[in-house]
Copies of this chain bind each other. A is one copy, B any other.
Amino acid sequence: MSGGVEWALHCCVVLTGATEPVPAARLAAFHDVSPTYLAKQLQALSRAGLVRSAQGQAGGYQLTRDPQAITVLDVVEAVDGRQSAFVCTEIRQRGPFAATPEQCRVPCGIASVMYDADRAWRDSLRATTIADLAGRVGRDVGPETLPRAREWMAGRSG
Contacts and interface: CB of A to CB of B under 8 A. Distances in A.
Given A109-B140, A110-B133, A113-B125, A94 B32 contact: yes
Interface stretch (A4-12, A43-51, A55-63): A4-12
25 contacts: A1-B85, A3-B87, A6-B86, A6-B89, A7-B91, A9-B110, A10-B92, A29-B96, A31-B94, A31-B95, A32-B94, A33-B91, A72-B114, A97-B148, A97-B152, A106-B140, A108-B137, A109-B136, A113-B128, A113-B133, A117-B124, A118-B121, A120-B120, A120-B123, A121-B121
A148 B98 CA distance: 12
A54 interface: no
Number of copies: 2
Contacts of A116: 124
Interface of A: 1, 3, 5-7, 9-10, 13, 29-33, 72, 85-89, 91-92, 94-97, 99, 103, 106, 108-110, 113-114, 116-118, 120-125, 128, 132-133, 136-137, 140-141, 145, 148-149, 152, 158
Given A109-B136, A121-B117, A124-B120, A141 B9 contact: no
A153 B137 CA distance: 58
B96 A158 contact: yes
B1 A97 contact: no
Given A103-B140, A121-B120, A145 B97 contact: yes
